[in-house]
Structure 1
Amino acid sequence: MAAWLLAAALAAGEPAAQLAQAKALMRGTPVEQPQARAMFGQAAGQGSGPAAYYLGLMLKNGMGGPQDQAAALHWLSLAAQRQVVPAMFLVANMLLDSDAAQARYWLDAACEAEYPEALLQKSVALGEGRMGYAHNEEQAALFLKMAEHAMGHRQPEP
């Protein structure tokens, strides 16, 4: 019955069902990944933040085609702008060497959304005085506690 509902939703162009199918293809065999990449590309082009995130991941990791860091950053940045929190974290890390101010902006945005990895990374940066953050042991300890707490109530994947 569930397969029939998924097929009907796909036929009707249901965005959530299309995203679910593309994610399943992405996680499938390498032969299926180019189709996932194409599906994510179509949905991302129509404004889907989660699709832009997954397309960016596939481009970053060379899944379903060649690796393309510039295109990955483009799509992940669009996903971050569309409030996809894991994309904010990835963009922050991709920009560390080229644009420290933007890297901090996106890391801070991911921290605001209580993304555990971002909170942990900011804790380390504060503790070591890196990424343009002033060395601050108290703030580092606070962000570490926030990261530990956030691990207990992780958001579902986009």
Structure 2
Amino acid sequence: GDHATAARQYQTVWSTDHSFVSAAFGLARIRLAQDDRAAAISVLDTVPELSSQYVHAQTALVSVLSTRHGSTDAAEFLEAGQRLERLGLDGDSTDRLAARVLENVLVWLDAGGRAPADRVLLGAPLSEDGVRANLERRYRTLAHRAASVRERHELVDKANSLRPVTLL
């Protein structure tokens, strides 16, 4: 209901005791609902590394950073990629989250976003071709690990849709 009241309550709990990580997640959700991405990122970034929820907070932070927004720029995508690489998740989790980041980057680039020259995102150039190739590779890797034939086919179709058009 009332975002201001909820934000105050979550903030009180979070600032009082950082062991109540659910308060950080609640406050971050409120800040996102209030269209204050910077505050949401800041809150998620205060979850202690020793917390059992640290990895969840960082994956949420990667998602927030890579979600397109009116002011999204290449620096946020690059930060999301760096944070994801530092997390050291298992292959499947990394590929799924990387695919989400790369999908958002591709939409951003297609909408006229400009990436700085010679920048690398998640192991590939931050360019349309680089992002497409990286995303195609991630989809194919996920397809190999797919639990069902249907999921495998969907992932292969996505990978194929990203392949650059060639004359051969």
TM-score, normalization by structure 1:
0.50
TM-score, normalization by structure 2:
0.48
